[in-house]
C-alpha cells in the first residue's frame, strides 16, 4: 500500500503508509504527492509516474494485477519507464480517455493530471479496498487524499470518495464506473456451481501473489483465513515469488494467551506446514493502543476499533520481521452471508439484499480496518475474497444455496466449504473446513471485549451518559464504550465533516440496521458482539438449533467482522491530493 495526497507538504501526514519513497509534483496551482510502500518493482517504481513527454502525471496507491497483460497490449505504443504496475494507468488514459477504469483488475486510488488540457481525474477501486477522501478548500480547490487526516485542517468540507467512482474535473463531478448486475439488488437465479466458485477464488489468490518483497498470510484458524492460507500454500511453488523468496509460507496470528484464534491457527499452520508466528498481547496492551488506533483508523465505530486494535499490534511485529505484504480473509462473510445473524434471514430475498448492503458498506468497516490498522506500520493487506471476478461469481448465485438450512446440513458459508471439500486432494481437514466462524475481536480472546467494557465503564460516568445526546447530537453514543471512543475521535478530528464519515445505527453481530428487524429481541441490544447470537456455537456443532439472541455465546474459528453499528468505521494508504480549481460539484 501507499498514500496519495494532492497538496504541498501534505504527504507528511501519510508517511506511515509509504515509508520507502516520497514523491512530489507541482504545476501552477496543482500539487500531487505520494508516499510509496514498494511491493512491486521496488527499485524502479517511484512516483509520480509520467508519460514520455511528461504531460501526463499520475500518483497512485494500488496493485494492478493485470498490469503485465496491459503492458503487452501497449508495448508498441507506449514507452514504459518503470516496472510499476500502476504505470499502465497512463497508456490506458491516452488510449481511452477517462473511460478505462473498469479495465483495471486490482485495488487502487489514484489521481491523474493532464497538463495539456489542465484537467484531472481521480478514481477508487470497485469495493473501496483502498481508502480515499475528497474535500474542498476555502478557495474552491479540490483536495483528494488516502486519509482524512491530510484534509482535516485545510478543507472546509470533506467526505469519503465513494468506491467504484471517478471524479472528473472536465465533466464537473463524480460518476460511477463500477456497475455490476448485483448492485441493483435483484435476486439472482444462477445455480450453485462449486467448481466455478473454487476456481474463481483460487485465481483471486494466485494473482495476489504478485510481489517483489517477502510476504505472508494472516491466519486465525477460521474458514476464511484458512482457505486463503491453504490455496496460497498449494500454488506458491509455481509463482515468481517462490523463485525469489522460496516456497516456505509464513503465517501470523494475534491473540490473548489461550485465545480461540491462537489454538485454531496453530492447528491449521501445523496441517499446512507454514512457518507460523504467534503474537500475544494483553488487555492492557490493547487499551494503551486505543488512541493510536482511532488516529489511524479515523473512526469511532465500536466494532472497528475492537477488531483493529489486535490487528494494529500484530502489524507492527510483522513489519519488524521484514514482511511488507500479507494476504487476509476479509469480505467472505459479506458476500456469502457468513455472519451468524444471517441464520435468521426470513427468506432468500432478504438474505440477498442484506449481502448487497454489506458488500456496499465494506469500505467503511472491514476494508477500512484491514487497510488502516496495517498501513499504520507500512504493511499492505491483500484481500482475495474481494476480487472483482470472485465477487461476480459469488453475487450471481441463487441465494437459496447460501442460506442456513439445518435439514440439509448447511451451515453458514456452506457453498464455500463444499467447494473446497475435495476428498482426493483435501485443502483442509473436515473439522477445520466446517468450523464455525468467530468475530475477530472475539476470536483474539473473549477477555478482550470484556476488558474494554470494564475499562470504559470507569472512564465514562453515568452523568456523562445522561448528557450524551447534548454533547454528541450526531450519532449519539449508546453505551460507555462508544462514548469513550467518541471522546478521543472528537479530540483528534473535531470537524463536522469528520464525524459524518462514520456510519452509525443499531447492529447485532455486524448486521446492518435493516436486518435488526428480523428478530424482535435484537432491537433492544446495545452490544454489536457476535456472542449475542444464540446459534453462535450450536449451529456448527449440531447444524440445528436456532434460538433467540442472548448474551453468552461461545465459538471457535474466525470472522473478520468490522462492521459497525451498535456504536460506529474507515481505511488507508498514502495517496495524493489534487489541488486546483474545482470544476463542478462533489456530489455523485
SS3 519: coil
> What integer pLDDT is reported at residue 529 of this predicted model?
62
Rounded Cα distance between 161 and 560, Å, is: 23
pLDDT, one tens digit for every residue, the chain (588 residues): 565 445 533 456 687 887 766 778 888 888 888 776 767 766 666 789 999 999 999 999 999 999 999 999 999 999 899 989 999 999 999 999 999 999 999 999 999 999 999 999 999 999 999 999 999 999 889 999 999 999 988 899 999 999 999 999 999 899 999 999 999 999 999 999 999 999 999 999 999 999 988 999 999 999 999 999 999 999 999 999 899 888 999 999 999 999 988 999 999 999 999 999 999 999 999 999 999 999 999 999 999 999 999 999 999 999 999 999 999 999 999 999 999 999 999 999 999 999 999 999 999 999 999 999 999 999 999 999 999 999 999 999 999 999 999 999 999 999 999 999 999 999 999 999 998 766 555 678 789 999 999 999 999 999 999 999 999 999 999 999 999 999 999 999 999 999 999 999 888 888 999 999 998 888 777 666 656 565 544 433 333 333 333 322 232 333 334 333 232 222 233 333 333 333 333 333
Query: Do the Cβ atoms of 578 and 28 come closer than 8 Å?
Result: no
Rounded Cα distance between 61 and 59, Å, is: 7
Rounded Cα distance between 47 and 538, Å, is: 52
Helices 194-207 & 223-235, crossing angle to 10 degrees? Answer: 70
CA nearest to 83, candidates 36, 125, 123, 49: 49
The count of residues in the chain is: 588
Q: Which residue has the cell 460506529?
A: 568
Q: What is residue 401's DSSP assignment?
A: G
Rg (C-alpha) for the chain, rounded Å, is 23
Helices 302-320 & 283-297, crossing angle to 10 degrees? Answer: 100
323 is in an annotated binding site: no
Strand 250-255 and strand 215-218: the pairing is: parallel
Rounded Cα distance between 161 and 146, Å, is: 9
218 is in an annotated binding site: yes
Does the active-site annotation cover 561? no
> What integer pLDDT is reported at residue 33 of this predicted model?
83
Which class would CATH give 3-179?
alpha beta
Beta bridge partners of 35: 3, 22
Q: Which residue has the cell 501470523?
A: 252
- Which of 2, 86, 367, 561 is catalytic? The answer is 2
Q: Return the C-alpha cell found at 84.
A: 510499476
SS3 185: coil
SS3 344: helix
What is 187-449's CATH number, 3.40.50.620, 1.20.1260.10, 3.30.70.1140, 3.40.1190.20? 3.40.50.620
Per-residue CA distances from 234 to 35, 228, 371, 503, 558 (Å)? 34, 10, 26, 39, 21
Neighbours of 346 (CB within 10 A): 10
Rounded Cα distance between 32 and 48, Å, is: 8
Domain map of the chain by residue range?
3-179, 187-449
Query: Do the Cβ atoms of 90 and 158 come closer than 8 Å?
Result: no
Long-range contacts, stretch 93-101, CB < 8 angstroms, 24+ apart: 93/56, 93/121, 94/51, 94/56, 98/166, 98/168, 98/170, 98/171, 101/166, 101/177
Q: Is the dihedral of CA 114, 115, 120, 126 positive or negative?
A: positive
Query: Do the Cβ atoms of 126 and 83 come closer than 8 Å?
Result: no
> What integer pLDDT is reported at residue 238 of this predicted model?
92
329 is in an annotated binding site: yes
Instruction: Kindly report the pTM of this predicted structure.
Output: 0.89
Give phi and psi for 318, each to the nearest 5: -65, -45
Supply angle C-alpha 117, 120, 124, rounded to 5.
155
Amino acid at each position: 500500500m501507499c498514500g496519495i495526497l494532492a497538496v504541498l507538504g501534505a504527504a507528511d501526514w501519510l508517511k506511515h503508509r509509504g515509508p520507502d519513497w516520497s514523491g512530489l509534483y507541482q504545476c501552477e496551482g496543482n500539487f500531487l504527492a505520494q508516499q510509496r510502500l514498494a511491493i512491486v518493482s521496488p527499485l524502479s517504481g517511484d512516483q509520480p509516474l509520467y508519460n514520455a513527454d511528461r504531460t501526463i502525471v499520475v500518483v497512485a496507491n494500488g496493485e494492478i494485477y493485470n498490469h503485465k497483460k496491459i503492458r503487452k497490449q501497449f508495448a508498441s505504443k507506449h514507452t514504459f519507464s518503470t516496472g510499476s504496475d500502476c504505470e499502465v494507468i497512463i497508456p490506458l488514459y491516452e488510449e481511452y480517455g477517462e473511460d478505462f477504469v473498469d479495465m483495471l483488475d486490482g485495488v487502487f486510488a489514484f489521481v491523474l493530471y493532464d497538463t495539456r488540457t489542465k484537467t484531472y481525474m481521480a478514481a477508487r477501486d470497485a469495493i473501496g479496498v483502498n481508502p480515499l477522501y475528497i474535500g474542498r478548500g476555502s478557495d474552491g480547490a479540490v483536495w483528494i487524499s488516502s486519509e482524512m487526516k491530510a484534509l482535516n485542517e485545510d478543507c472546509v468540507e470533506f467526505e469519503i470518495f465513494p468506491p467504484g467512482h471517478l471524479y472528473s474535473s472536465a465533466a464537473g463531478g463524480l460518476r460511477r464506473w463500477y456497475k455490476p448486475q448485483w448492485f441493483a439488488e435483484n435476486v439472482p437465479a444462477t445455480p450453485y456451481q462449486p467448481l466455478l466458485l473454487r476456481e474463481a477464488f483460487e485465481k483471486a489468490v494466485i494473482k495476489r501473489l504478485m510481489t517483489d518483497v517477502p510476504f505472508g498470510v494472516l491466519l486465525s484458524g477460521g474458514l476464511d483465513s484458512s482457505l486463503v492460507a491453504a490455496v496460497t500454500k498449494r500454488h506458491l511453488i509455481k509463482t515468481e515469488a517462490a523463485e525469489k523468496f522460496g516456497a516456505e509460507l509464513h503465517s501470523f496470528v494475534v491473540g490473548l494467551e489461550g485465545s480461540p484464534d491462537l489454538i485454531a491457527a496453530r492447528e491449521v499452520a501445523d496441517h499446512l506446514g507454514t512457518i507460523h508466528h504467534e503474537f500475544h498481547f494483553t488487555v492492557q496492551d490493547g487499551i494503551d493502543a486505543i488512541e493510536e488506533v482511532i488516529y489511524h483508523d479515523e473512526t469511532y465505530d465500536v466494532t472497528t476499533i475492537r477488531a483493529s486494535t489486535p490487528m494494529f499490534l500484530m502489524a507492527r511485529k510483522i513489519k519488524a520481521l521484514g514482511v511488507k505484504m500479507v494476504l487476509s480473509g476479509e469480505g467472505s462473510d459479506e458476500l456469502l452471508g457468513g455472519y451468524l445473524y444471517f441464520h435468521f434471514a426470513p427468506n432468500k430475498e432478504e438474505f440477498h439484499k442484506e449481502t448487497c448492503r454489506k458488500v456496499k458498506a465494506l469500505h467503511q468497516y472491514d476494508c477500512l480496518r484491514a487497510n488502516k490498522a496495517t498501513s499504520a506500520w507500512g504493511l499492505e493487506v491483500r484481500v482475495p475474497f474481494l476480487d472483482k471476478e470472485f465477487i461476480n461469481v459469488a453475487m450471481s448465485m441463487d441465494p437459496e444455496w447460501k442460506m442456513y438450512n439445518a435439514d440439509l446440513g448447511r451451515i453458514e458459508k456452506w457453498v464455500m466449504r463444499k467447494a473446497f471439500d475435495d476428498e482426493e486432494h483435501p485443502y483442509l481437514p473436515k473439522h477445520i473446513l466446517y468450523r464455525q466462524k468467530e468475530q475477530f475481536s472475539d476470536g483474539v480472546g473473549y477477555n478482550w471485549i470484556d476488558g474494554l467494557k470494564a475499562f470504559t465503564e470507569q472512564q465514562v460516568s453515568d452523568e456523562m451518559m445522561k448528557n450524551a445526546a447534548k454533547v454528541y447530537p450526531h450519532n449519539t453514543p449508546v453505551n460507555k464504550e462508544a462514548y469513550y471512543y467518541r471522546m478521543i475521535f472528537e479530540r483528534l478530528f473535531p470537524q463536522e465533516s469528520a464525524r459524518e464519515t462514520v456510519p452509525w445505527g443499531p447492529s447485532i453481530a455486524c448486521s446492518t440496521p435493516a436486518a435488526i428487524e428480523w428478530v424482535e429481541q435484537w432491537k433492544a441490544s446495545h452490544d454489536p458482539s457476535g456472542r449475542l447470537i444464540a446459534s453462535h456455537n450450536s449451529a456448527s456443532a449440531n447444524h440445528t438449533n436456532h434460538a433467540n439472541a442472548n448474551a453468552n455465546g461461545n465459538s471457535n474459528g474466525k470472522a473478520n467482522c468490522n462492521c459497525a453499528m451498535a456504536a460506529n468505521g474507515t481505511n488507508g494508504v498514502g495517496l495524493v491530493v489534487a489541488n486546483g480549481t474545482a470544476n463542478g460539484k462533489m456530489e455523485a
